[in-house]
Amino acid sequence: MKYVDEFRDPGKALALSREIHALTATIARAKRQPLQIMEVCGGHTHSIFRYGVTQFLPDEIEFVHGPGCPVCVLPMGRVDDCVALAERPEVIFTTFGDAMRVPGSKKSLLKAKADGADVRMVYSPLDALALARQNPEREVIFFGLGFETTMPSTAMTVLQADAQNVSNFSLFCNHITIIPTIKAILDEPDLRLDGFLGPGHVSMVIGSAAYDFIARDYGKPITIAGFEPLDVLQSVWMVVKQIAEGRAQVENQYARVVPRDGNKVALAAVAEVFELREFFEWRGLGSIAHSGVRVRERYAAFDAERKFALPNLRIADPQSCQCGEVLKGQLKPQQCKIFGTACTPQTPLGALMVSTEGACAAFYNYGRIDTSGLSASKATKEDQHGR
Amino acid sequence: MDDKSRRRVRTLRESHVNLSHGSGGKAMRDLIEDVFVAAFDNPQLAAMEDQAVFPFAELALHGDRLAFTTDTFVVDPLFFAGGDIGTLAVAGTVNDLAMSGARPLYLSCAMVLEEGLSIEVLRRVVASMQRTAQLAGVTIVTGDTKVVERGAADKLFINTAGVGVVPAGVSISAANARVGDAVIINGTLGDHGTAILIARNQLGVSCDVASDCQPLAGLVAAMLAACPDIHCLRDATRGGVATVLNEFAESSNVAIRIDEDALPLREEVRGACEILGLDPLYLANEGKLIAIVPGEHASAVLAAMRAHPAGECAAIIGEVCAAPAGTVVLNTCFGGQRIVDMLVGEQLPRIC
């Protein structure tokens, strides 16, 4: 398939793998601990596990799976609010598919649906707006979720609802923003990270310039990365090269999609509809200043938080749950006390086990395998052909 | 529509199903005769007894053990590219029988009809059932009809049960996979799942992927002729190929390794999966089987499959290994490896 297969070429992967091994060898002499590279975005986490990218890296490089899975960082209290909204008899509650299974303190949206709530899966907020027009007697609420990747489409939908006077449409806004969270991670006193893979599709909206502070103020290299396995591997190579050469810069591997200044139209729509919240609660990370957005006063008529009374409770994560440590890179998924026992994709306790982009679910689904002695049978075959 | 139905004396005047069609009275008899008996057209059913009766001697011609199965079909929408609920209802039960190596012979057909269902729709479904039954070489010999009030069922539900006969010497079981066996599929993955997604029209995309819905009894007979010692056979319906492979690995306590590059996949299905973040290994099929056969017979079985219309795109996709036992491992197209686990819940499209 065009524009897909080129980015999954096993021969190129092996070549990159060799270069990464060679580069790492030059660094490892000076440094005892393994290099830690955080992939901020859940899409990268998914690719890494799905394609077995770690199997191409030397043991001296570790991925730390970052907070960039919006489904995973959603706190239980917000899920409870969703359920409360969905269970109102007049409401059709619309959501992206992978948010359906996230556990609240009592139930998930999937369970609420089974119990009789009118919860519908949509592929775009515009589908929700169309539903509102088709059902004028019902209130259609869209569960707005995600980073800057999905924020513009939600903003455009609110603008359309406003222009078309669709008064029975509202947004339950849980959009979050990545930069303050990366900052919070960088400010952790026990930070060990050596570099970052920057999110691809968030950056398509906000641009690569938004990360300049990481290199300038914190001295950490970052490479904005695409989502195909070769993208990820090449980006790792770029980060490792920066480390080897003692540089800390913002580099853009995903230049075919990400411009330096982002998408001005999208950013303008976002700025028109949303404003920063003072704080937003993240599952596992706690409250982070200016990390979430809410609907501006001007569009209050489309804000479900203003339209309906919400329980709005802060629910602590289950005590046994170590999602926070995993999110910060202090624990690997399989080192969590309840990984694979009390917490599995079937009965997720922690959010990281819920979405396929969550580090724990990705590791559980794809990674529980001893891959020592790779590179895979096929890689060996290719190698033999090459000789 | 079956022409014979028009020649029958008893004809149905109503254009839609109503509660009297399930009452046991004259209206029900009209419906059964005009729609079912006319289309399925066989003496067993036409006798209008409460059961079909067949002599042992006739069954014994085909083998020495009886295979018996049942399945219920609920699908929305009723009609989709490549098939409809009627094709599914016959092919599904025929395939469940065939996966034991049995030659399927007789089917029952029980329908739950929602009040208000168009008779025209019912006739189309019944005609599909008959067409598929003929293709599979089975006869629909007994049936039942119930009508429920509007809202108590979604248009039309079908249950079919089937009997078949397993040839002497054939012993197929999910527990029979052995190290060194080859894993074979009879064609492309995920066509049915994709066709249904597209037919529901929630994606705003169109493409011409048709369901692979088809009876597999003929293909299985051809495979058994090439190699009577087939170890495992299962049709990969809900849960897809990944689920069947996991069932084999677990029951046989072996590892199954498959090559992503070897998986036959239509470009359209691949595209839909890339866009939606779905994995074709978990998409439903309705005309695909996974066979595990002794390595030394793999090429003979593959050749027999490719010579049959239901197996033209057959491919060897992997092999049975010893470790890690109970696990399915995929060699990715990228050169890495990963686990292919059982699916939890439904596959849900990813947010971004």
Q: Are residues A353 and A213 in the same domain?
A: no
Q: Are residues A134 and A224 in the same domain?
A: yes
High-pLDDT (> 70) share of chain B, %:
93
A17 is a domain residue: yes
Domain boundary among A302, A318, A334: A318
Choose the closest CB to B339 out of A55, A230, A369.
Answer: A369
Residues of chain A with Cβ-Cβ distance to B339 below 8 Å are 365-369
Residues of chain A with Cβ-Cβ distance to B270 below 8 Å are 1, 4
**Number of domains into which chain A is organized:** 2
Q: Are the Cβ atoms of A50 and B332 closer than 8 angstroms?
A: yes
Q: What is the per-residue pLDDT for B229?
A: 95
The arithmetic mean of pLDDT across residues A227-247, rounded, is 96
Choose the closest CB to A356 out of B204, B267, B350.
Answer: B350
A381 is a domain residue: no
Q: What is the nearest CA distance from B321 to chain A, expressed in angstroms?
A: 13
CB B290 within 8 A of CB B233: yes
Give per-residue pLDDT as tens, B80-129. 989 999 999 999 999 999 999 999 999 999 999 999 999 999 999 999 99
What is the pLDDT of chain A when averaged over all its residues? 89
High-pLDDT (> 90) share of chain A, %:
65
Residue B16 pLDDT > 70, yes or no?
yes
CB atoms within 10 A of CB B46: 12
Residue A69 pLDDT > 90, yes or no?
no
High-pLDDT (> 90) share of chain B, %:
79
Rounded distance between C-alpha atoms, residue A282 and residue A77, angstroms: 10
Residue A385 pLDDT > 60, yes or no?
no
What is the number of helices (H) and of strands (E) in chain B? 12, 13
Q: Are residues A239 and A358 in the same domain?
A: no
Residues of chain A with Cβ-Cβ distance to B332 below 8 Å are 50-52, 229, 376
CB B70 within 8 A of CB B166: no
Q: Are residues A275 and A362 in the same domain?
A: no
Q: Are the Cβ atoms of A368 and B339 closer than 8 angstroms?
A: yes
Which residue range(s) make up the domain with A348? 323-367
Q: Are residues A119 and A218 in the same domain?
A: yes
Confidence band for A377, pLDDT divided at 50, 70 and 90: very low
A386 is a domain residue: no
Confidence band for B7, pLDDT divided at 50, 70 and 90: very low
Q: What is the per-residue pLDDT for A31?
A: 60
More confident residue, B74 or B9: B74
Ranges A310-314, B174-178, B335-339: which has the least confidence:
A310-314
Q: Are residues A265 and A335 in the same domain?
A: no
Cβ-in-10-Å burial (0-12, 13-18, 19+) of A160 comes to middle
High-pLDDT (> 70) share of chain A, %:
94
Residue A378 pLDDT > 50, yes or no?
no
Q: What is the per-residue pLDDT for B6?
A: 44
Question: Which of B259, B263, B329, B334 is best to mutate for the A interface (most A CBs within 10 A)?
Answer: B334
Q: Beta partners for A33?
A: none
Q: Are residues A94 and A231 in the same domain?
A: yes
Nearest chain A residue to B271, by CA: A1
A385 is a domain residue: no
Rounded distance between C-alpha atoms, residue A124 and residue A163, angstroms: 18
Give per-residue pLDDT as tens, A92-127. 999 998 888 888 889 999 999 999 999 999 989 999
- 3-state secondary structure at position B92: helix
Q: Are residues A11 and A113 in the same domain?
A: yes
CA-wise closest residue to B141 among B172, B111, B108: B108
Q: What is the per-residue pLDDT for A35?
A: 92
Q: What are the residues whose beta carbons fall under 8 Å from the beta carbon of B172, sequence distance 6 or more?
A: B99, B100, B101, B230, B231, B232, B233
Q: Are the Cβ atoms of B336 and A51 closer than 8 angstroms?
A: yes
Q: Are residues A27 and A150 in the same domain?
A: yes
Q: Are residues A189 and A84 in the same domain?
A: yes
Ranges A121-130, A319-328, A334-343, B213-222: which has the least confidence:
A319-328
Q: Are residues A249 and A344 in the same domain?
A: no
The arithmetic mean of pLDDT across residues A199-225, rounded, is 96
End-to-end CA separation in angstroms for chain B:
46
Residue A379 pLDDT > 50, yes or no?
no
A214 is a domain residue: yes
Q: What is the per-residue pLDDT for A353?
A: 87
Q: Are residues A154 and A228 in the same domain?
A: yes
Give how far Cα A61 sits from Cα of A8, A56, A248, A249, A362, Å. 21, 10, 17, 19, 19
Choose the closest CB to A346 out of B271, B338, B344.
Answer: B344
Q: Beta partners for B233?
A: B291
Confidence band for A30, pLDDT divided at 50, 70 and 90: low
Q: What is the per-residue pLDDT for A28?
A: 66
Residue B245 pLDDT > 90, yes or no?
yes
Give per-residue pLDDT as tens, A163-181. 999 999 999 999 999 999 9
Q: Are the Cβ atoms of A371 and B351 closer than 8 angstroms?
A: no
Rounded distance between C-alpha atoms, residue B32 and residue B20, angstroms: 12
Please enumerate residues of B whose Cβ is less than 8 A from a Cβ of A: 202-204, 259, 261, 267, 270-271, 274, 277, 324, 327, 329, 331-339, 341, 344-345, 348-352
A372 is a domain residue: no
Choose the closest CB to B350 out of A5, A98, A364.
Answer: A98
Q: What is the nearest CA distance from B256 to chain A, expressed in angstroms?
A: 13
Residue A42: CATH number of its domain: 3.40.50.11740
Q: Which domains does chain B have, with CATH numbers?
A: 4-166 (3.30.1330.10), 174-339 (3.90.650.10)
A377 is a domain residue: no
Q: What is the per-residue pLDDT for A103?
A: 85
A375 is a domain residue: no
Residue A134 pLDDT > 70, yes or no?
yes
Nearest chain B residue to A128, by CA: B202
The arithmetic mean of pLDDT across residues A333-355, rounded, is 87
Q: What is the per-residue pLDDT for A229?
A: 94
Give how far Cα A124 sits from Cα of A155, A173, B124, B273, B349, Å. 12, 14, 35, 17, 11
Choose the closest CB to A51 out of B329, B332, B345.
Answer: B332
Q: What is the per-residue pLDDT for B41?
A: 93
More confident residue, A332 or B164: B164
Choose the closest CB to A1 out of B271, B338, B350.
Answer: B271
3-state helix, strand, coil in chain A (%, to 5): 45, 15, 40
Residues of chain A with Cβ-Cβ distance to B261 below 8 Å are 378
Residue B9 pLDDT > 70, yes or no?
no
Residues of chain A with Cβ-Cβ distance to B350 below 8 Å are 46, 96-98, 355-357
Q: What is the per-residue pLDDT for A37?
A: 94
Q: What is the per-residue pLDDT for B348?
A: 65
**pTM (two decimals):** 0.86
